[in-house]
Amino acid sequence: MSELIWETHKKISASQVERERLLAAIALRIRQSLDLDSIINQTVEEVRLFLQTDRVLVYRFEPDWSGLMVAESVIAPYKAVVGSKIKDPCLTYKHLEEYRQGRIRAIDNIETARLTPCYADLLASFNVKANLVVPIIADEKLWGLLIAQHCECPRKWYSSEIELLKLLANHVGIAVKQAELYQQVQSLNTYLERKVKNRTAKLQKALQFEALIRRVTQRVRDSLDETQILQKVTQELGEVLDIERCKIELYDNSQTVASIVYEYAKTEPVCQGTSRRIADFPEVYQQLLQKKFLQFVEIIPQLSPDKNQLTRLVCPIFDDQGILGNIWLLRSKEELFDELEIRLVEQVASQCAIAIRQARLYEKAQAQVKELEKLNTLKDDFLKTISHELRTPMSSILLACQTLEKLIKTQGIRGIKSEKFQRVFKIFKSSCQQQNKSVNDLLTLCYIDAENATLIPELIDIREFIFELVEPFKEQFEQQQQQLVINTSEEISLVQTDISLLKRVINELLTNACKYTPAKEIITVSTGETEETVFLSVSNSGVEIPPEEQEYIFDKFYRIPSHDPWKHGGTGIGLALVKKLVELLGVTIQLDSQKGQTTFTIQFAIDTQN
């Protein structure tokens, strides 16, 4: 009897030692590893061997309180159930709460345990004859169940086995909590790494953007070439933002048409040089003309054959003087431009506005410089011409005065009546008239430019007026062997105009014709009427003005380079005065010079009320 007791004691001692070893091994494994799957898989294997049972598994609850068999140790021929998801219809909130409070459920024989049919059927489906369930609590929450099952036959679960399973469940709970904490730390580390990475990327992007702004600003300071600046801006903006397209459009002066003047594209540019009417896209340009940026997503078939949505950002180019145009950006995916990118484009747009204004001011200044140079040249030419024109008649007047004085002193009354006196007196008179005309022309031109001229309109008959004006020129035409022809219609409507100003216009045209018409050529004065106008023309043959000179013929102080100014004389203000006078009279003048003939035609609108 004592030997039996001693053998039993030895077995119990050995079992306790093995139990302590098992607990220590699992505890050590938990301390040394954070791999929860490895811990529970080894735990179920060692527990099954220790209990000498058919199956040990770990059942983990899902958020909906269904369960997943996450670890299992089972012997043949019993089927494995690891990975199975089970929804126990008999598991109520009451049962869950009992498990959370530490309930242990030991069933030695499921056939005699008076189980609910649904639970009995569930166990029977896994060939379970005896079942031991211990809850796994992690951080005071019900995480799952540690289950030992015997499938061959019913089995008695001893208190030592139940206590062992309870202790092991506690260890598993510690492992679960430890693993969850580790996972949280890992998630936090991943989040922090991602955040640092994003922050670093943002800082790098900000540095890139800042460098771009510095380059654009420096380029605006260093250059006045609008084309060069804006072309470089579109390229660098497109490359820095890594977008599909970047283009700049500028408005016309009336802001009714927008034209694409610069474009950057990863593929071939397709829009540069195109224009569109603002009124055709009111939903877009209404906001842009209010100096507000616009961002939207759309499908552009010609740019996205697969019909993917593309993102557009449009930022207006403006300053305190007004809006000049827009920067358009296209991203080849449905991804919005972020705040940092939008701020970059706005800053670039501001620099573009400065560049455009600066370049246009420079162009305007250059144009003014060229105009001033042209005016300065005209002034020099005028001074040379007017000096000659005023000096020539003054020399003739001075010489004539000396000659007349000498004749009077030496010959008295006989000298006054002599032919020489009369010839000299004629030169004196002609020179005075020429001098007086030059001064009057200059004064009239200044008078009209100062907008002080007033009109005294009256009705006149052009035909009668022409004969009266031509009469003083007949003698000069004969002396220069020029033929005069007058063509007038039988009936012409009366025209309302200022007679004195019109007389000056026609006298200037006749003087011009007389001066430049070669001997034996024809000077023709014509009048006529169309349905809407009465016209008067002065033409002369033998003379033709080159086409490239015709647009300048009415400019002040302009003299045709191909004509010798000292041969014909003149200040270069006669035709400029004609142009000013006809504008003042409200009529038009046209020049036609071709095929060896030059014609100036004045047109009067017919007054239908008279």
Residue 312's DSSP bridge partners are 296, 330
Regarding whether 235 and 122 lie in a shared domain, the answer is: no
Rg of the chain over all Cα atoms, to the nearest angstrom: 56
Q: What is the pLDDT of residues 539-584, one digit of tens each?
A: 999 888 888 887 877 776 666 554 543 344 455 667 877 888 888 8
What is the torsional sign of CA 371, 373, 375, 381? negative
Regarding whether 14 and 68 lie in a shared domain, the answer is: yes
Regarding whether 174 and 307 lie in a shared domain, the answer is: no
Q: State how far the alpha carbon of 50 is from the alpha carbons of 76, 166, 173, 596, in Å.
A: 17, 14, 20, 130
Regarding whether 542 and 591 lie in a shared domain, the answer is: yes
Residue 387 scores a pLDDT above 90: no
Q: What is the pLDDT of residues 107-126, one digit of tens each?
A: 999 888 888 888 888 888 88
Regarding whether 323 and 181 lie in a shared domain, the answer is: no
Q: Total structural domains in the chain?
A: 3
Regarding whether 179 and 226 lie in a shared domain, the answer is: no
Structure tokens at 355: 């560049």
314: in domain:
yes
Structure tokens at 69: 């068999």
Regarding whether 50 and 177 lie in a shared domain, the answer is: yes
191: in domain:
no
Q: What pLDDT is attached to residue 196?
A: 81
Regarding whether 166 and 17 lie in a shared domain, the answer is: yes
The span from the CA of 314 to the CA of 292, in Å, is 9
Residue 389 scores a pLDDT above 60: no
Regarding whether 238 and 173 lie in a shared domain, the answer is: no
Domain of 48, in residue numbers: 2-185
Residue 8 scores a pLDDT above 50: no
Identify the residue with better confidence: 347 or 12. 347
Q: What pLDDT is attached to residue 173?
A: 80
Strands 310-319 and 294-298: antiparallel
Residue 442 scores a pLDDT above 60: no
Band of pLDDT at residue 21, cut at 50, 70 and 90: confident
Regarding whether 103 and 225 lie in a shared domain, the answer is: no
Q: What is the pLDDT of residues 257-308, one digit of tens each?
A: 999 988 888 877 778 888 999 999 988 898 899 989 998 887 765 555 555 6
**Secondary structure of the chain: what % helix, strand, coil (to 5)?**
50, 20, 25
- The residue among 336, 354, 372 that closes a domain is 354
| Chain mean pLDDT for the chain | 79
Residue 210 scores a pLDDT above 50: yes
∠598-604-610 over CA atoms, to 5°? 155
Give the type of residue at 32: Q
367: in domain:
no
107: in domain:
yes
The domain that holds 459 is classified in CATH as 3.30.565.10
- The residue among 354, 373, 392 that closes a domain is 354
Identify the residue with better confidence: 403 or 342. 342
The domain that holds 32 is classified in CATH as 3.30.450.40
Q: What pLDDT is attached to residue 55?
A: 92
Q: How many CA atoms lie within 13 A of 74 on its CB side?
A: 19
The span from the CA of 608 to the CA of 532, in Å, is 9
Q: What is the mean pLDDT of residues 19-45?
A: 72
Share of the chain above pLDDT 90, in %: 8
Residue 70 scores a pLDDT above 80: yes
Q: What pLDDT is attached to residue 451?
A: 55
550: in domain:
yes
Band of pLDDT at residue 325, cut at 50, 70 and 90: very high
Total Cβ atoms within 10 A of residue 327: 24
Q: What pLDDT is attached to residue 508?
A: 84
280: in domain:
yes
Regarding whether 252 and 171 lie in a shared domain, the answer is: no
Largest distance between two CA atoms of the chain: 196
- The residue among 354, 376, 392 that closes a domain is 354
433: in domain:
no
Regarding whether 317 and 249 lie in a shared domain, the answer is: yes
Q: What pLDDT is attached to residue 461?
A: 85
444: in domain:
no
